[in-house]
Amino acid sequence: MSTSIAQIPSFIDGAALPMQDGGFDIPVIDPATEQVIGQLREADAGAVDLAVLAARRAFDQGPWPRMDIDARKDILYKIHDVLLANSEELLRMEVAHTGLPISGVRHHIKRAAKNFEMFAEVASNVAGQTYTQTANYLTYVTREPKGVGALIAPWNAPLALASMRVATCIAFGNTCVLKPSEYTPLSMLRMVELFHEAGLPPGVVNLVNGRGGVTGVSLVSHPGIDMVGFTGGSSTGRAIMAAAGQNLKPCILELGGKSASIVFNNADLEQALDGTLAGIYSNNGQQCLAGSRILLQRDIADKFIADFVARAKRIRIGDPTQEQTEMGPLAYRQHMERVLSFVEVATEDGAILLTGGRRADGFDKGFYIEPTAVLVDSDNARICQEEVFGPFATFVIFDTLDDAIRIANNSSFGLVSYVWTEGLNETMRCSREIRAGVVWVNTPMMRELRAPFGGYKESGVGRDGATTSAEFFTEYKTTSIAIDPVKMQRFGLGK
Ligand code: NAD
């Protein structure tokens, strides 16, 4: 890994914004080595204004929204190809600033490229409607791009998630300003440069870097934007929706979760064990769709916990640049400290610490912690209610199908859920009654990109997906045409 310090400016209207003297710089830290690997120049309100104006010009006067769909598709497909062609460089950057294991990040990059291919197709199939039922009128409904998107992304899977926000927005002819997380700007700048190398016109995607409270706030409250797409935590989502609401701008919000992974007595237990481990410990445990509450039916609980703990202890923790690594460091120091603080939160409520709960041995540097699991006796315990966003599993034992559904729904979140069973009744009841945006049966994390994805309750507002993204990122326009002259009331002909 190179030790040189990358300078990370914002990127506006097709070019890097010069880093003049006197700006505010934020160091970017490799969580595996704790070394500074980048220096981010924060975009203040003035820089955000430049970015929004560039996106506005590109939307109001530029070629992108007016382009023939085949030409737009060509560029989106080219972005797909260019991202893949530069995947090694993106991979190095993504691993360095996130600490995510390289094997997982490879999938994220494929997914980032796929997002552009997928939404190119979706956009080319967006169609309107016609109505001829009312005699003498032809009414047709057209779909138009909505305008300038303010897109805000988190640090836990920057390429996969920011690319989803951008692809769903620009494929329909919109333009945008992207603000990635201040912790993970390296691959984001390169990704935006690559969009331009692929032929994207200047101003269609603009990048502003900085903290949420400075750059993010300036962006979402800017009067020049038309909509907000946000992926991140629920409390931030609340602040963003309130700010956007002041200007009556619609939001799509993909937020946090505390998802239930339910293992019934009649499950294929080998599959369930693999699936629950992957559900909580993949991506260093830092994922919105983690199966962080593991609900076990009583008969299988003791053996399942023993097997789970034995496997958790054997997870290969280490340098994320190594292919064999299964878990790398957490994203940054305060996050690691927050995750570890949940051990006390759990034990104060009477939970039993089953494994982990401390920094991993054998590392002089880096924010490594051991895969952690606790057993609680009440699903009202704080550890069963709050999102930890780390490799921290919470087990709860249940007796009946009704109990399992009640516990799964005892949450202010409702992003996804996992059901492990060979039973039809369990499958159908969980599918019908769990209040979450996704129910995965006997599979972990199967993202069907065409289908709606998003959360119930505090896990989100709106849905990503083929038809749902088209719905959010386009406006409907209704045109009614009279075929023969219409008879009207005639004003102003009296004496
Ligand atoms: P976060 O909410 O702290 O930050 C997300 C982004 O919002 C960052 O770019 C941040 O700088 C910005 N931001 C913060 N405050 C802001 C404000 N007031 N105005 C505008 N922007 C602001 O989240 P995070 O810590 O980066 O990511 C972790 C959270 O994201 C977890 O809760 C996780 O569940 C959630 N997440 C959800 C999904 C999903 O698809 N549902 C996916 C990934 C992560």
Instruction: Answer yes or no: is 494 within a domain.
Output: no
How does residue 2 score in pLDDT terms, banded at 50, 70 and 90? Answer: very low
Residues 268 and 249 in one domain: no
- C-alpha to C-alpha distance for 127 and 312, rounded to whole angstroms: 49
Instruction: Answer yes or no: is 35 within a domain.
Output: yes
Instruction: Answer yes or no: is 208 within a domain.
Output: yes
How does residue 1 score in pLDDT terms, banded at 50, 70 and 90? Answer: very low
Residues 110 and 191 in one domain: yes
Residues 56 and 150 in one domain: yes
Residues 408 and 362 in one domain: yes
What is the tally of structural domains in the chain?
2
Atom of ligand 1 nearest to the CA of 155: 26
Residues 94 and 143 in one domain: yes
Report the 10 Å Cβ neighbour count for 495.
Answer: 2
Residues 386 and 414 in one domain: yes
Q: Is the pTM of this model over 0.75?
A: yes
Residues 224 and 307 in one domain: no
Query: What is the CATH number for 123?
Result: 3.40.605.10
Average the pLDDT over 138-149 and give the result. 98
- C-alpha to C-alpha distance for 18 and 38, rounded to whole angstroms: 16
Instruction: Answer yes or no: is 453 within a domain.
Output: no
- C-alpha to C-alpha distance for 390 and 281, rounded to whole angstroms: 8
Q: For residue range 401-430, what is the model confidence (pLDDT) as tens digits?
A: 999 999 999 999 999 999 999 999 999 999
Atom of ligand 1 nearest to the CA of 154: 26
- Domain region containing 349: 260-441
Average the pLDDT over 455-467 and give the result. 98
Q: For residue range 19-59, what is the model confidence (pLDDT) as tens digits?
A: 888 899 999 999 999 999 999 999 999 999 999 999 999 99
Instruction: Answer yes or no: is 421 within a domain.
Output: yes
Instruction: Answer yes or no: is 409 within a domain.
Output: yes
Nearest to 370 by CA among 361, 379, 380: 361
Instruction: Answer yes or no: is 227 within a domain.
Output: yes
Distance 235 CA to ligand 1 centre (A): 9
From 52, 108, 156, 258, the mutation candidate for ligand 1 (largest count of ligand atoms within 8 A of CB) is 156
Residues 205 and 331 in one domain: no
- C-alpha to C-alpha distance for 23 and 17, rounded to whole angstroms: 12
pLDDT of residue 3: 53
For the chain, percent of residues with pLDDT exceeding 90: 97
Distance 214 CA to ligand 1 centre (A): 14
Residues 464-481: b if buried by 16+ CB within 10 A, e if exposed? bbbebbbbbbbeeeeeee
pLDDT of residue 293: 98
Atom of ligand 1 nearest to the CA of 387: 32
CA distances to 14, 32, 93, 206 from 2, rounded to whole Å, are: 27, 13, 10, 27
Q: Where are the alpha helices (DSSP H) in 259-370?
A: 269-281, 298-313, 333-348
- C-alpha to C-alpha distance for 206 and 112, rounded to whole angstroms: 17
Instruction: Answer yes or no: is 375 within a domain.
Output: yes
CA distances to 71, 259, 385, 439, 482 from 414, rounded to whole Å, are: 39, 7, 11, 10, 48
pLDDT of residue 22: 84
| Cβ neighbours of residue 114 closer than 8 Å, sequence gap 6 or more | 80, 449
Q: Which two tokens stand for residue 88?
A: 């090694």
pLDDT of residue 20: 84
- Catalytically active residues are 254, 288
Residues 22 and 155 in one domain: yes
CA distances to 250, 365, 463 from 226, rounded to whole Å, are: 8, 44, 18
Residues 372 and 329 in one domain: yes
pLDDT of residue 188: 98
pLDDT of residue 401: 98
Q: Whose CA is nearest to atom 39 of ligand 1?
A: 254
For the chain, percent of residues with pLDDT exceeding 70: 99
Residues 353 and 415 in one domain: yes
From 177, 259, 288, 458, the mutation candidate for ligand 1 (largest count of ligand atoms within 8 A of CB) is 288
From 48, 151, 152, 177, the mutation candidate for ligand 1 (largest count of ligand atoms within 8 A of CB) is 152
Residues with CB under 6 A from ligand 1: 152-156, 161, 179-182, 211-213, 216-217, 220, 231-233, 236, 239-240, 254-257, 288, 387, 389, 415, 460
Average the pLDDT over 95-103 and give the result. 98
Indicate the average pLDDT of the chain: 97
